[in-house]
Amino acid sequence: MQLKYRVLNVFAVGGVRLSGNALAVFEDGSGLDPEQMQAIARQMNLSESTFILPSKRAAALVRIFTPAYEMPFAGHPTLGTAHVCRALGLGGNQLGLEMRAGIIPVTADGDHWTLRAAPATSRLADQPPAEIARLLGLDAGDIGFQPLWVKAGREQLVVPLTSEAAVRRVRPKPEAFEKLKSADGAGQVYVFATTGAKTILSRFFFPDNGAVLEDPATGSACANLGAWFVAMGRRPPLDFEVSQGEFVNRPSILQLEVNTDDEVFVGGDVIEIGSGQLDL
């Protein structure tokens, strides 16, 4: 079996080819079972790999895998896969992608792609702010108002911090981090602080085999941030440029918008940097 794939960087910064979050997109996954998809994602060893399949409801059905598990939704795989679907003639500058989390509408302006996130749910964190600060290696005074678990596809703990300096000081403690559990049992934390009227600095952390890793650019968490603003009563329209990834040497820019209907949009530039064939 020969599988064609493309490698892309999503949420790239100003045309810099080796910025953003990397993604492998397999053009035709119809001959694969989920176990094979998981094994291929482990082989590619990128943040995520996606597999394009036929859909009767949208331009394509998309399966998303990290090296360890399948995801119902993720932001940079959605945008990168839409870019490949357009290149394959499966859709144009407006298309829908069917995922386990539902059909996600995606639009393009050139190579800048934007998704509309699903309506979100939110709930209070079980831990008090002082405990959240401790597991992040911060002081209690670094935590702003109000940490929330938010789910617009994937539940994550959104934690506002009181300053840009606090975002830079975050040093998660793996032994304490294990206490955080989302609804699906996988604790993930997104910290942020505003750095200007329309700019935000963010970081995203997730557990992996006893360690805590940091993601270069997290579209699902950015969508959850938009829903956090809605839950906090911030009046739309809102428009932010969100910086992420500098602490793992993969600078990334995400565009976050919330319209007057409280709909959340996440966008960024997509750059294809290569292609290949996997022989099974």
Residues annotated as catalytic (active site), given as ranges: 48
Distant-in-sequence, close-in-space partners of 163: CB < 8 Å, separation ≥ 6: 142, 193
Calculate the alpha carbon distances from 184 to 30, 151, 156, 226 in Å: 27, 11, 10, 21
Give the distance from CA 109 to its chain's centroid.
Answer: 20
- The answer to whether the beta carbons of residues 226 and 237 sit under 8 Å apart is no
CA 246, CA 255: separation in Å to the nearest integer?
A: 16
Task: Determine phi and psi for 72, rounding to 5 degrees.
Answer: -75, -25
CA 15, CA 268: separation in Å to the nearest integer?
A: 11
CA 85, CA 233: separation in Å to the nearest integer?
A: 37
Task: Give kind and range of the element (H or E) at residue 258.
Answer: strand 252-258
Residue 38 DSSP SS3? helix
